[in-house]
């Protein structure tokens, strides 16, 4: 009798749920990508916070994305969670984002900013976007 109970009724029920969840989150990420035109619009929208997550040495070499603030990749989550609104404003001259604020993350090519995007979305910043091309895309579009 125990053999008839073992065929994975629970596994078959849980596997589709897990795959559905993964599929949904993968689908949800696609609209959270921003490209050059989106960055141009965001730079003129004070309600959007653009964060350049590259390292200080990279920023020193190229400058940061116009209209952005600089928070190194490894410090973004902690900065968003731990700085008071006043300290955030004093440090970055921008209002601290709420969980509803549209945040666009950028790095050199979009890989690191994509990782930060996932990290802060898990913290409840559901309007976190990734500038897919990053600084390289910005620079190439500025030259044309």
pLDDT tens, residue order, the chain (144 aa): 444 444 443 333 333 333 333 333 444 445 799 999 999 999 999 999 999 999 999 999 999 999 999 999 999 999 999 999 999 999 999 999 999 999 999 999 999 999 999 999 999 999 999 999 999 999 999 986
Beta carbons of 111 and 14 less than 8 angstroms apart: no
Dmax over Cα atoms in the chain, in whole Å?
Answer: 73
Catalytic residues: 107
Quote the CA–CA distance of 48 and 108 in Å, as a whole number: 20
Q: Which phi and psi (to 5°) does residue 22 adopt? A: -65, -40
Predicted TM-score (pTM) of the model is 0.78
Of the candidates 79, 74, 18, the one whose C-alpha atom is nearest the C-alpha of residue 49 is 79
């Amino acid at each position: 009798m125990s053999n008839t109970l073992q065929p994975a009724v629970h596994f078959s029920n849980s596997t589709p749920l897990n795959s559905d969840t993964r599929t949904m989150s993968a689908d949800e990420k696609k609209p959270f990508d921003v490209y050059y035109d989106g960055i141009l619009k965001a730079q003129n929208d004070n309600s959007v916070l653009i964060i350049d997550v590259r390292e200080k040495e990279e920023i020193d070499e190229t400058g940061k994305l116009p209209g952005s603030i600089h928070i190194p990749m490894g410090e973004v989550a902690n900065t968003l969670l731990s700085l008071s609104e006043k300290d955030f404003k004093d440090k970055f001259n921008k209002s601290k984002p709420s969980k509803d604020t549209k945040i666009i993350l950028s790095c050199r090519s979009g890989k690191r900013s994509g990782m930060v995007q996932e990290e802060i979305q898990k913290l409840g910043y559901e309007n976190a976007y990734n500038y897919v091309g990053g600084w390289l895309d910005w620079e190439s579009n500025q030259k044309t």
